[in-house]
Structure formats: C-alpha cells, structure tokens
A and B are shown apart, each in its own frame.
Chain A
Amino acid sequence: MSINTDQLDYLAKLSMLLLNETQKKHLHADLNDILQLVESLKNINTTDVEPVLNPLDATLTLRDDKVTEENNREFYQETASLSDNGLYLVPKVIE
C-alpha cells in the first residue's frame, strides 16, 4: 500500500505538523518507502492469534484512593512559556 499527497496532508493535519512543500516531498517518499518495508506483514497468517496488549501479558495493579499530591503550581509552571495568575494561556479558542 502507498499513500498519496492528500493522505499525507490529512496525516499532517491529524498530527498537527506544519510541513512545507520540500518537506512534504521528502516525507511522502520516506513514508511510502517505510510502508514498503512493513508490507511483508500482510503475508503472515494471524488467524486466531491474540494481539499483544502488554509484552509480559501482565494485568493492571490498582492504587489506593489517597491524595498524595500537594499544590506545586508555581514550581510546575516554571516550565511553561506563557502563564498568568496560575493559568496556562493559549491563542483564543473559538467553539
């Protein structure tokens, strides 16, 4: 299988990546090359094979319902490039 440029645009939109024409050209070729690489999988018979959900087939352990965190807002927000009064800021969202 291979993808066309419309599909590449769609993938770029879904993954929120702005690509210029040169990048698109290269990535388009790369993606199709990679899809070629993984093509052989379709020849493997996987009837009745359970997909792996965890490499060790482990199951989930549960945590007790306890509050263990305290307010560290100022410290945590040091990594944000834009915040005000304890709030993170983003360009205006229109619903």
Chain B
Amino acid sequence: MMQWEPVIGLEIHAQLNTKSKIFSGSATNFGADPNTQASLIDLGMPGTLPSLNKEAVIKAIKFGLSISATINQTSLFERKNYFYPDLPKGYQTSQFQLPIVQNGKFNIPLDNGDSKTIRINRAHLEEDAGKSLHEDYHGMTAIDLNRAGIPLLEIVTEPDFRSAKEAVSYMKSLHHLVRYLDICDGNMQEGSFRCDVNISLRPLGEKKLGTRAEIKNLNSFRFVEKAIQYEIKRQKKLLQAGQAVYQETRLYCPDNDETRAMRSKEEAYDYRYFPCPDLPPLVIDDNFITDIKKNLPEPPQKRKERLLTTYGLKEEDADYFVENPKYCDYLESLLTQSNISPKLAVNWFRGELMRAINNENLSFNELKLAPQKLGELLSALETNQISGKIAKQVFEIMWETGQSAKVIIEQQGLKQLDNTDELNEIIERLIEAYPKQVEGLKAGQNKLLGFFVGQVMKQTQGKANPKQVNDLIKQKLSLD
C-alpha cells in the first residue's frame, strides 16, 4: 500500500492588542455592544479615509525581529476587493506584494526532544472584518462592525509541517511568543488568535505538492489537531480510491469532528489587488527599527535557558517566569542586585509578593516595591538577621510604608537574638519550670521539643532563630 505524506502550512491571524483600530481611532475592546465601536471610517462612510496606527507597525516589527526576519523598509498596503456584508468598504486593506515582514525562522519543540525550524514566509498587516451573525434576525443576517478594522498580523508559514502534532506545536509556541512580546492577547475564544490550515498529501518521497484544501478559522489547538487529522484521513481515502482532492475552502465542525466544503466558495476569487491610493508606501527608517530592537524582550527560549543554567531554577518555575517578561525582569534584577539564593527569591516572588499584588487587585505594572528593596529584606532573612516570621511582618510594613527593610528592622527592634548566653539562660529557666515536660522529652516524646522552642520564641517575641533554639535545647538535655 502506498504511503502518503501530509504537507501542511499554517496562516495565523493574530489580532494586535493596540488601543485603537489600525486605520481609525475606535476602541478595540472585546464584547462591546454591537456597532458601538464602529466609527465613520470603520463603517466605510463615503468620503472617509484611513490613517495608519503607529503601534500596529511597531508590533509587527517586534514580531519580525524576534523571528530573525527581514523587515521591509518599504511596504505597501493594497486593497483586496470582494463583496461581503461584514466588509464595509467592499475591500480589505491588506499587504500583498510588499509585506512588512518576510523570511523569518521559528524553532518548535518536537515530542522526541529535538527541535525543528519552521520557515515563516511572511507576516503582514491588515484589517479584520466585522462579524456576520447568522442566528435568526427576522430571517436575516445581522452585521456587527465592532471588529472591522482591528489590526491583524497574518503570519504565513511555508508548508513545513508533516503532522498535526508539529502544526500544533508551532501554534502553541507562536501563541506563547505573541503574548511574550505583548503584541496579542492570545485569547482564542475571543478570536484574537485564529488559524487557517493548508493541507495536501503526496506519495512519500515525492517532491511535487498535491492539491491542497484550506480549512478556515480554527480557534483552538485541539480543533487544529482534530481538523488536520480528519483532513489527512479524508484526503488519503480519496487518493487511495483514485479520486481527486479539490482545491477548496473547508470548515471544521467540532460537533461531528469533520470538515465540510464551504458552499459559497466554489469558484476561485479574483480579488483585484492593487496598491491602496489612500495610503502611500510605508517607509521605515533604520532608527525606527533600532529603537524597537532596543526595547525588545529577550527571546523566551534564551531567557528560560538562562534561568535554568545560571540560576538553577526548576523547569516549572522557569516556565512561570518566562511566561511574563515583566516577572522575569523583576526576578533577574532581584537576583543581580542582592546576593540571595534564587530559590528564596522565587518562593517569595510567587508567595508573598504575588499575594500582596492580588490582594490589592493591582496589575504587575503598578507594583511599587523595587526589587532592590525586596532584596534587602531577603538578604536579612537569609543571613539569619531575622526569622521568616519576622520577615513577613517587615514585608507588610514595607509594602504599606515603602520604608526599607533595614530601617523597619532597626526601628521596631526586630533583629534576631543570636546571643547564645541569653538564650541558654532562658532555656535553663524553662527546664526548671517544666520538669514533667523535660521528663517526657527525655523519654522520647519528640513533639515536646516544639513546646520548648515555642516558649523561647514567645519570651523573645519571635526574635530568636528557632533552629538555633532547637539545637541549644537538645544540647542542654543531651538528647540525640
């Protein structure tokens, strides 16, 4: 029996998370009442003209730089002409012959631990269309144009995938990258990150590509995987029976897990692309690109690598920090500014710090506590100047007042008691006061040790180091 090789390419539509639309000053919030974020420009009112959002350009370039792509210093907006009710102007403004980003590379992890390089043919800027609501509105279709004009970055790969798994691995890594770069919120339920799949089969060993089908608008990793798997099966069946695969657009139906041809697209489109006369060529100078490069976060893989090797973080912790570049920045400056163990820093970041932020419903950007201040506190803890319990108290005061740990510790007299003589005196008094407990302890009731430690801590108002107290009691009673 003949072996078939699937050849798959992906087109990802990532909505760029700008405040306003690509060509108008309308808001881009998801879920607003229909047509309340549709301006005259978005509605295609006669006489209106587009003006390009700078931030959309910056975000596209950010993406291009992080996949080592060519940033075209001249790129061009063109009109893709077709009629559809959710396309108000009768054309979509997009990039065609000269996209802003071309020829990138992107590594994806494979199941066997290897990685594979996927070639990204292009990433271009365009405007999203509105939404057609097909539920019954008096037997009609209803149109909401809030989405019309949301900036999209369409990221097109070469047909480099050979399985559904590879495609999904790419999609997941790319999904991670766009959020890491803060160019797309990645919300797939809301359609911020959607995928079209091109797929064809060819006999294994054959160089020529087979006829491909396009599966449109997949908005979850699972659907991409399922749709590809189904489509491979469908095409294989056709080819093995000697039948042809048609070049067509198909939709994936999750309900019965299959793809079906779209009714309205039997014939090839003639989009009549031509340069949009309302938008002169976009020319980007070197300085513009250099500025973006300067502010680009380090690629996530590289950063994770460093967290693992330089700081010895656990895999799970590294993933947590790499997820958000701001967390990572904080952690790294915490670790470089003070000489504390990464483990302590990680625990405090994920514990106390995040708890405090969440309690006050702050976003991380609103955090006022500088890494250097937290570092000072953690140093004091690590060098046993204060106990863990005291450290938490100091943290709370520091959070409220913004005072430094040193000042708080001194002013409140919280410095740890490490005077052995003083501690021994207290312990001796306790041994006299609680003979029964001493007997029990000597007889092997180890939990009574905690009782004595607790008493010492109480009398020192928590300033003693519990571990030290522990040792001293054992010494005194010649335990072990």
Query: Do A and B have CB atoms closer than 8 angstroms in the complex?
Result: yes
A63 close to chain B: CB less than 8 A: yes
Interface residues of B in 121-162 (CB under 8 A from A): 132-134, 137-145
Which residue of A is nearest B276, CB measured? A53
B54 close to chain A: CB less than 8 A: yes
- Min distance, Cβ B63 to any Cβ of chain A, angstroms: 16
Residues in chain B near residue A85, CB distance under 8 A: 34
Residues in chain B near residue A65, CB distance under 8 A: 18-20, 53-56
A59 close to chain B: CB less than 8 A: yes
- Evaluate contact between B36 and A86: CB separation under 8 angstroms: yes
Residues in chain B near residue A93, CB distance under 8 A: 85, 132, 134, 141
Residues in chain A near residue B279, CB distance under 8 A: 60
A14 close to chain B: CB less than 8 A: yes
In the complex, identify which listed stretch (B280-288, B375-383, B471-479) lies at the interface while the others stay far away: B280-288
In the complex, identify which listed stretch (A20-28, A31-39, A71-79) lies at the interface while the others stay far away: A71-79
B275 close to chain A: CB less than 8 A: yes
User: Pick the contact of A69 from B39, B85, B139 — CB < 8 Å?
Assistant: B39
Given A65-B53, A87-B133, list of 17 further CB < 8 A pairs?
A: A64-B54, A65-B18, A65-B54, A65-B55, A67-B20, A68-B20, A69-B26, A72-B39, A79-B45, A84-B142, A87-B144, A89-B143, A90-B85, A91-B140, A91-B141, A93-B134, A95-B264
A18 close to chain B: CB less than 8 A: no
Q: Max chain B CB contacts within 10 Å: which of A64, A72, A82, A90? A: A90
B27 close to chain A: CB less than 8 A: yes
Residues in chain B near residue A59, CB distance under 8 A: 280-283
A16 close to chain B: CB less than 8 A: yes
Expressed in whole angstroms, the Cα–Cα distance for A94 and B262 within the complex equals 9
Expressed in whole angstroms, the Cα–Cα distance for A45 and B268 within the complex equals 33
Q: Max chain A CB contacts within 10 Å: which of B35, B39, B263? A: B35
Also in contact, A62 and B132, with CB within 8 A (given A73-B36, A76-B43): no
User: Pick the contact of B141 from A14, A69, A92 — CB < 8 Å?
Assistant: A92
- Min distance, Cβ B76 to any Cβ of chain A, angstroms: 7
Residues in chain A near residue B18, CB distance under 8 A: 65
- Chain B positions within 8 Å of A, measured between CB atoms, are 18-20, 24-27, 33-40, 43, 45, 51-57, 76, 83, 85, 132-134, 137-145, 251, 262-264, 270, 272, 275, 277, 279-283
User: Pick the contact of B25 from A54, A68, A71 — CB < 8 Å?
Assistant: A68
- Evaluate contact between B19 and A66: CB separation under 8 angstroms: yes
How many positions in chain A have a CB within 8 Å of any CB in the partner chain? 35
Expressed in whole angstroms, the Cα–Cα distance for A93 and B83 within the complex equals 12
- Min distance, Cβ A69 to any Cβ of chain B, angstroms: 4
Expressed in whole angstroms, the Cα–Cα distance for A87 and B33 within the complex equals 10
Expressed in whole angstroms, the Cα–Cα distance for A80 and B145 within the complex equals 14
Also in contact, A60 and B282, with CB within 8 A (given A66-B19, A95-B251): yes
- List 11 A–B pairs whose Cβ atoms lie within 8 Å, in order of A's numbering: A60-B282, A60-B283, A68-B20, A76-B38, A79-B45, A88-B85, A88-B145, A89-B137, A92-B141, A94-B264, A95-B263
User: Pick the contact of A60 from B45, B263, B280 — CB < 8 Å?
Assistant: B280
Residues in chain A near residue B39, CB distance under 8 A: 69, 72
Expressed in whole angstroms, the Cα–Cα distance for A78 and B26 within the complex equals 19
Residues in chain A near residue B27, CB distance under 8 A: 67, 69
Expressed in whole angstroms, the Cα–Cα distance for A87 and B85 within the complex equals 12
Expressed in whole angstroms, the Cα–Cα distance for A76 and B275 within the complex equals 29
Residues in chain B near residue A77, CB distance under 8 A: 35
Which residue of B is nearest A92, CB measured? B141
Which residue of B is nearest A16, CB measured? B83
Residues in chain A near residue B137, CB distance under 8 A: 84, 87, 89
Which residue of B is nearest A11, CB measured? B270
Which residue of B is nearest A51, CB measured? B275
User: Pick the contact of B281 from A60, A68, A69, A84 — CB < 8 Å?
Assistant: A60
- Evaluate contact between B141 and A90: CB separation under 8 angstroms: yes
Which residue of A is nearest B25, CB measured? A68
User: Pick the contact of A71 from B37, B56, B251, B272 — CB < 8 Å?
Assistant: B37
- Min distance, Cβ B175 to any Cβ of chain A, angstroms: 23
Across the A-B interface, the 6 shortest Cβ-Cβ residue pairs: A68-B25, A65-B55, A62-B54, A87-B142, A88-B143, A54-B280
Q: Max chain B CB contacts within 10 Å: which of A58, A67, A79? A: A67
Residues in chain A near residue B76, CB distance under 8 A: 53
User: Pick the contact of A90 from B38, B140, B281 — CB < 8 Å?
Assistant: B140
- Evaluate contact between B37 and A62: CB separation under 8 angstroms: no
Residues in chain B near residue A76, CB distance under 8 A: 35, 38, 40, 43, 45
Residues in chain A near residue B134, CB distance under 8 A: 92-93, 95
- Min distance, Cβ B383 to any Cβ of chain A, angstroms: 47
Residues in chain B near residue A89, CB distance under 8 A: 137-138, 140-143
Expressed in whole angstroms, the Cα–Cα distance for A94 and B260 within the complex equals 14
